[in-house]
Amino acid sequence: MNARPPFFRRPGIVLALRYAAAVALTVGFLFPVYWLFIISFKTPEEIFAFPPVWYPKSVQFANYAVLFKDGDAVTVWNSLVLAGVSTVIAMVLGTICAYSLVRFKTGGENLAVWIISQRMMPPIAIAFPVFLLYVFFGWVDSYHGLIILYTAFSLPYVIWMMRGYIEDLPLELEESALVDGLTRWEVLWKVVFPMVRSGLFATAVFTFVFAWNDFLFALVLTRTEVITYTVQVTHYFGGQSNFWAKIAAMSVLGTIPVFFTVAVLQRYLVRGISMGAVKG
Amino acid sequence: MADLKITNLHKHYSGVQAVRGIDLEVASGEFTVLVGPSGCGKSTLLRTIAGLETPDGGTIEIGGRVVNYVRPRDRDIAMVFQNYALYPYMNVFENIAFGLRARKTPQAEIETRVRRAADMLGITPLLERLPRQLSGGQRQRVAIGRAIVRNARLFLFDEPLSNLDAQLRDEMRSEIKRLHQELGTTMIYVTHDQIEAMTLADRIVLLRDGKIEQAGTPLDLYERPATRFVAGFLGSPQMNFVPAQLAQSGGGWAVKVGSDVSLPLPARQGDGLSDGRAIVLGLRPQYVTRANGSHRPGHERLGVTVELVQPTGSRAYITFPLGGVPIVAELESHDVQRPGERIDLDLDMNRAVLIDPESNRVI
């Protein structure tokens, strides 16, 4: 007669426990997002009700409507422009720099390390000097001011990441293209970019999220014209009371673009990150 | 007219002199094989011809035009790489068409030329596939297709068969030879494999330490090597080298090996020969055979004790001692049965090579 395995080793039980753990973990991660999302549709009474209202009786769009009516929603657009443009510039420049580091050994081994070391500097350390410089140039509260800053901050990361991806490319692919009739720039565009596409997207997502989430520089370097959504959210924290409904609605607006980007690029993201992971 | 002319070419990388003063002319339609051991500079030489490296000295002319600083794309060359260098995100058709598209060839002509190349290489059914769906041999065919579709003046091959297994390598070797005969174009082929060099080449250029050791037809190099290195590099199993001495014998010359073996040489010019001079006797395993009753001029008989027998099927390699070194002979497989056997061998001294042990040059 076959002895039955102990209760906790039975295949069905193991599977059930695994699912239970996965569900618990997912709920733990998703609940704050759900709560934020649901608050944005609640009336003020529902927000402060006790016991808590787990889902609103009727969905209120008033919290969003007021953001658009007051013109606060434009701050999401500002964030989008700043993060989007700086990401594109950083990706193009960073990939070209990385290519140069890898293929032409520009600056030898040390330059690459020096570049990534720039990333280790705490942003707050340079906030004040940057502010003074920006006042001097008249770049405070301008799109290009923040775009230049975000690009400069993202570049070391982009260069470092893209360097890793490009190093993995077989040199012969590029040499073959050079012999077949491409110029160096065409090789970069037609051979290197398609080959490192996953890494390119993965790096771009992180670069975008960095700029998107920035609060410090947006706070220091903006006044009224290019306020980003992260700064705008803080305007709803008052000395007397906090506008939780607005905070939630604005935060949801701020989450949607990132959520969308990651959802669309998920395939590349996973592949891109694992490409880096395998390389070690 | 020479399709390629190289004059006093030098190339070094951070202190290492990879190519040192090479002069080479390749005639139109010739199949030239650059061969040599690892690090001899053959790949560097090819890459410099392709324009993937810039020479540090000397000139490279392709079709009568100096191309030292001309970009690879403007040199009118096509190149096949060891690792195929196929673009993984393009199908076979697009891979083959890549160079034509880069040169803005009209679509209709691309269609015709790609299909013609695919037909020649027998890969038409694979045109829609991605490189990862192909075997190693098929990938190499695609890589060759990408080169021949271009109708370039010069075809460069950089160890194209090294990644294939032995059987495929034989197959592709014949394929390349056939292509050369059909196309009649000038080809320069780099390999470290002497069999590939011997079978493919109209002319072999054997390189060593960045210099040309000897250049000539395969048989020239095989039968009349200029140095001990050339003699040892070509031929399998390798040529045997036996330390010996020259001695005068009955109006002619003989090679004395040890104290008891004397092998008379066929009539030679006396240039550079002197009694008692130390030499190295070079004898290919193929020119040592089982002795039969007849005596042919220039052949010497030698009784030996077999130490090792390595059957390969139709042939057997045996090893026996001579002059303190092990000598390999290639016999018929039934000529010898087991180690320890005492047999008579026939040494073809007409084919013997005498080498000066100091300069390592053939006397």
Strand segments, DSSP code E, in A211-266 are none
Structure tokens at A118: 């720039």
Residue A275's pLDDT is what?
65
Q: Are residues A255 and A155 in the same domain?
A: yes
Per DSSP, the residues of A86-115 read HHHHHHHHHHHHHHHHHHS-TTHHHHHHHH
| Domain end position, chosen among A60, A78, A94 | A60
Pick out chain A residues at pLDDT < 70. Answer: 1-2, 239, 275-280
Residue A2's pLDDT is what?
63
Strand partners, B330: B317
Nearest one of A149, A127, A146 to A78, comparing CA atoms: A146
Q: Is A182 in Cβ contact with B73 (below 8 Å)?
A: yes
Integer Cα distance of A230 and A83 in angstroms: 12
Q: Is B78 in Cβ contact with A180 (below 8 Å)?
A: yes
Residue A280's pLDDT is what?
34
Q: Are residues A51 and A152 in the same domain?
A: no
How far from each other are the two terminal CA atoms of chain B, in whole angstroms?
34
Q: Are residues A188 and A239 in the same domain?
A: yes
Q: Which residue of B has its CA nearest to A193?
A: B89
Residues of B in contact with A177 (CB under 8 A): 98, 102
Q: What is the dihedral of CA A101, A106, A112, A114, to 10 degrees?
A: -160
Residue B146's pLDDT is what?
92
Integer Cα distance of A67 and A61 in angstroms: 10
- A191 touches B at CB < 8 Å: yes
Integer Cα distance of B244 and B353 in angstroms: 12
Residue A277's pLDDT is what?
46
| A275 inside domain | yes
| A178 inside domain | yes
- A109 touches B at CB < 8 Å: no
| A131 inside domain | yes
Q: Is B87 in Cβ contact with A186 (below 8 Å)?
A: no
Distance from CA of B80 to the nearest CA of A (A): 8
Q: Are residues A79 and A194 in the same domain?
A: yes
Per DSSP, the residues of B288-339 read EEE--S---TTEEEEEEE--EEEE-SSEEEEEEEETTEEEEEEEETTS--ST
Range of the domain at A235: 64-279
Domain total of chain A: 2
Alpha-carbon torsion A106, A110, A113, A117, what sign?
Answer: negative
Exposed/middle/buried for residue A129 (C-beta within 10 Å: 0-12, 13-18, 19+): exposed
Residues of A in contact with B88 (CB under 8 A): 195
Set out the domains of chain B in order of their start, with CATH numbers.
2-228 (3.40.50.300), 240-355 (2.40.50.140)
- Find the chain B residues whose C-beta atoms sit closer than 8 A to any C-beta of A: 50-52, 71-73, 77-79, 81-83, 85, 87-89, 98-99, 102-103, 146, 150
φ/ψ of residue B177, rounded to 5: -60, -45
| A1 inside domain | no
Alpha-carbon torsion B193, B195, B200, B204, what sign?
Answer: positive
Structural element, H or E, at residue B237: none
Q: Are residues A192 and A105 in the same domain?
A: yes
Asked if B158 and B196 count as a contact pair (C-beta separation under 8 A), the reply is no
Q: Are residues A140 and A234 in the same domain?
A: yes
| A2 inside domain | no
| A43 inside domain | yes
Q: Which residue of B has its CA nearest to A169?
A: B85
Residue B143's pLDDT is what?
93
Q: Are residues A43 and A82 in the same domain?
A: no
Residue A278's pLDDT is what?
44
Q: Are residues A177 and A257 in the same domain?
A: yes
Per DSSP, the residues of A34-75 read HHHHHHTTS-HHHHH-SS--SS-SS---HHHHHHHHTTTTHH
What pTM did the predictor assign?
0.82
Residues of B in contact with A268 (CB under 8 A): none
DSSP code of residue B278:
E
Q: Are residues A46 and A117 in the same domain?
A: no
Residues of A in contact with B87 (CB under 8 A): 173, 191, 194-195
| Cis peptide bond N-terminal to A51, omega within 30 | yes
Residue A279's pLDDT is what?
41
DSSP code of residue A225:
S
Alpha-carbon torsion B284, B289, B291, B294, what sign?
Answer: negative
Q: Are residues A159 and A241 in the same domain?
A: yes
CATH of residue A182? 1.10.3720.10
Asked if B82 and B173 count as a contact pair (C-beta separation under 8 A), the reply is no
Over its C-alpha atoms, chain B yields an Rg (Å, rounded) of 25
| A264 inside domain | yes
Q: Are residues A17 and A148 in the same domain?
A: no
Q: Which of B73, B82, B89 sits opposite A179 (nearest CB)?
A: B73
Structure tokens at A21: 């753990």
Distance from CA of A23 to the nearest CA of B (A): 38
Q: Which of B73, B85, B146 sits opposite A172 (nearest CB)?
A: B85
Give, in degrees to the nearest 5, the angle at Cα A18 between A30 and A35. Answer: 10
Residue B1's pLDDT is what?
55
- Interface probe with A: pick from B71, B110, B114, most Cβ of A within 10 Å: B71
Nearest one of B232, B251, B250, B253 to B241, comparing CA atoms: B232
Q: Are residues A79 and A42 in the same domain?
A: no
Residues of B in contact with A192 (CB under 8 A): none
Distance from CA of B62 to the nearest CA of A (A): 14
- A275 touches B at CB < 8 Å: no
From first to last of the 363 residues of chain B, give the pLDDT tens digit.
568 999 999 999 888 889 999 999 999 999 999 999 988 999 999 999 999 999 999 999 998 899 999 999 999 999 999 888 999 989 999 999 999 999 999 999 999 999 999 998 889 999 999 999 999 889 999 999 999 998 898 999 999 998 888 888 888 899 899 999 988 999 999 999 988 999 999 999 999 999 999 999 999 999 999 999 999 999 889 999 999 998 887 778 888 888 788 888 887 655 667 888 899 999 999 999 998 877 888 888 889 999 999 999 889 999 999 988 999 999 998 888 788 889 999 999 989 999 999 999 998
